[in-house]
């Protein structure tokens, strides 16, 4: 049986600077867990470029519970991103401007880690024993062999040394497979800086040097990738492997409010969250960047509140992105539509799980997506979704979505109003959603393994 190496170089880099995952990191964790279930931990490895050691390293996943591997924090610990990275950043947010309190709490954490206080860290969802795997890292230069499959599921343009490392393992006979999520910096450069477009294009062209096979997370992304590569004189096979419509990873403790202590200043925000959950609200999940179209969404809500006195709250859950100054200004000038809009910054998976479960429905008017994970997540919770009729989003929701033109404030407002005003219709659609067989991460994993020619896998339907 071929050995599968899941590259987590960008995953690892993400958690050196941010304490909470995005959809990409959740996807990697879920597919790692599913791969171990299918192939066994001894046949699945994590690989990553370590800039400190200047080596491409690997660690096997034998003996690890797949359920634990679906936790991004646990997976990050296996590749050397320990408790200090997560907890110190949370303390920095909570005690911003309170130097003495910050230092005292950092000292307390350092002391408990030095004492290897497993009970204390276990309460925070951190397994100190997993950090011992750092001593079992091996260099891929001497470990990779013919027949191995290296699977890249994240854009590696933030790890420039990765290309050279992958070329070396390819020379040893390994197959390198690249899963592309979008080519937005090239197809829609207005959403990013010129430098980002230049770097992304340079990286994408470079992937041709080491990739044996390209996969795409949607048919739409696959077409865009083929078109781009052909303009550069490159013809290479691209197989679409659509992503999942599945809930967030289960909360290990079963008590989401207690587990919120790892979220930004939600360390002491349970009362505020309980207050929010007691009200009717519509949920948007995603980063607050210009591509997500939040200004038009807010303007649609402004239009609706002028006509309807009992309008539900609009809850926007996600970290701050770039280029969204107009949205920020609009929120400030209108006092967040007189408190009709609430921002939940950098929510944990536990908090997002709560928000999904209690919302009326979700809204996702993004201008362009490679897939659209929040759309599938909404369906998995049995919730209706107002979604854009563009790019790959209709691939995710299919006939279960209520669609809008994301460039039209009126269209967004009309689509949302359908679900607000017509409760019987919303309930009927929810029942249809709950009765629909949705695509799981295990389905995605099986298709990935099929595409990379693992003999034990079968194509999911």
- pLDDT tens for 412-431 read 999 999 999 999 999 999 99
256-438: CATH number: 3.40.50.2000
Contacts of residue 290, defined as CB under 8 A and 6 or more positions apart, other chains included, come to: 191, 321, 322, 323, 324, 327
Distance CA 96, CA 88 (A): 12
pLDDT of residue 350: 85
Distance in angstroms (rounded) separating the CA atoms of residues 278 and 275? 5
Q: What is the pLDDT of residues 154-168, one digit of tens each?
A: 988 889 899 999 999
Mean pLDDT along residues 223-241 = 92
Q: E strand or H helix at 356, and its extent?
A: helix 349-358
What pLDDT, on the 0 to 100 scale, is given for residue 21? 87
Q: Tokens representing 357?
A: 């479960």
pLDDT at position 19 is 75
pTM equals 0.85
User: Looking at residue 460, what is its pLDDT?
Assistant: 42
Predicted confidence at residue 122, as pLDDT, reads 64
Higher pLDDT, 75 or 257: 75
pLDDT band at 110 (very low <50, low <70, confident <90, very high): low
For residue 256, what pLDDT is reported? 39
pLDDT of residue 208: 93
Digit-coded pLDDT (tens) for 350-401: 889 999 999 999 999 999 999 999 999 999 999 999 999 999 999 999 999 9
Of the candidates 152, 136, 275, 132, the one whose C-alpha atom is nearest the C-alpha of residue 211 is: 152
The pLDDT, as a whole number, for residue 100 is 74
**Which residues on neighbouring strands pair with residue 5, listed in sequence order?**
45, 150
C-alpha 353/C-alpha 336 separation (Å) is: 24
Better pLDDT: 287 or 102: 287
Given a cut of 60, is residue 265 above it in pLDDT?
A: no
Pinpoint the residues of the chain covered by CATH 3.40.50.2000: 4-82+126-244+442-451, 256-438
What angle separates helix 83-94 from helix 99-114, to the nearest 10 degrees? 160
Q: What is the pLDDT of residues 37-48, one digit of tens each?
A: 999 999 999 999
* 250 pLDDT tier (thresholds 50, 70, 90): low
**264 pLDDT higher than 50:** no
Q: What is the pLDDT of residue 124?
A: 58
pLDDT number for residue 461: 37
Biggest CA pair distance of the chain:
68
Place domain 4-82+126-244+442-451 in its CATH homologous superfamily.
Answer: Glycogen Phosphorylase B; (3.40.50.2000)
Burial class (CB in 10 A: 0-12, 13-18, 19+), 387: buried
């Amino acid at each position: 049986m071929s050995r599968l190496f899941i590259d987590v170089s960008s995953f690892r880099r993400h958690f050196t600077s941010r304490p909470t995952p995005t959809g990409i990191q959740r996807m990697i964790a879920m597919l790692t867990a599913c791969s171990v279930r299918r192939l066994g931990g001894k046949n699945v490895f994590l690989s990553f470029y370590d800039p400190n050691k200047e080596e491409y390293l690997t660690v096997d996943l034998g003996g690890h519970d797949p359920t634990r591997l679906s936790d991004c924090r646990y997976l990050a610990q296996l590749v050397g991103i320990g408790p200090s990275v997560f907890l110190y950043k949370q303390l920095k947010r909570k005690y911003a401007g309170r130097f003495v309190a910050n230092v005292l709490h950092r000292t307390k954490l350092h002391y408990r880690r030095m004492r290897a206080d497993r009970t204390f860290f276990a309460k925070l969802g951190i397994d100190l024993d997993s950090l011992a795997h750092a001593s079992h890292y091996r260099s891929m230069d001497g470990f990779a062999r013919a027949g191995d499959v290296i699977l890249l599921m994240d854009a590696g343009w933030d790890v420039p040394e990765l290309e050279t490392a992958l070329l070396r393992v390819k020379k040893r006979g390994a197959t390198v497979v690249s899963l592309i999520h979008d080519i937005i910096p090239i197809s829609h450069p207005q959403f990013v800086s010129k430098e980002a477009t230049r770097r992304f294009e340079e990286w994408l062209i470079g992937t041709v040097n080491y990739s044996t096979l390209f996969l795409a997370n949607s048919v739409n992304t696959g077409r865009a990738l083929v078109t781009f590569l052909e303009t550069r004189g490159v013809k290479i096979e691209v197989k679409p492997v659509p992503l999942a419509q599945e809930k967030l990873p289960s909360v290990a403790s079963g008590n989401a409010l207690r587990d919120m202590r790892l979220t930004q200043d939600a360390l002491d925000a349970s009362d505020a969250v309980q207050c929010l959950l007691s009200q009717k609200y519509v949920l948007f999940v995603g980063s607050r960047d210009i591509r997500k179209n939040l200004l038009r969404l807010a303007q649609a809500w402004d239009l609706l509140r002028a006509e309807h006195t009992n309008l539900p709250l609009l809850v926007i859950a996600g970290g701050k992105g770039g280029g969204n100054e107009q949205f920020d200004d609009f929120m400030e000038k209108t006092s967040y539509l007189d408190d009709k809009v609430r921002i939940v910054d950098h929510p944990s998976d536990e908090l997002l799980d709560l928000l999904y479960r209690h919302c009326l429905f979700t809204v996702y008017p993004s201008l362009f997506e490679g897939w659209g994970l929040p759309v599938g997540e909404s369906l998995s919770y049995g919730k209706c979704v107002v979604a854009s009729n563009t790019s790959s989003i209709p691939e995710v929701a299919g006939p279960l979505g209520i669609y809008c033109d994301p460039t039209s404030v009126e269209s967004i407002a009309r689509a949302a109003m359908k679900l607000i005003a017509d409760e019987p219709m919303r309930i009927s659609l929810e029942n249809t959603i709950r009765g629909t067989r949705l695509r799981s991460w295990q389905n995605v994993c099986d298709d990935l393994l099929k595409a990379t020619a693992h003999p034990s896998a079968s194509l999911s339907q």
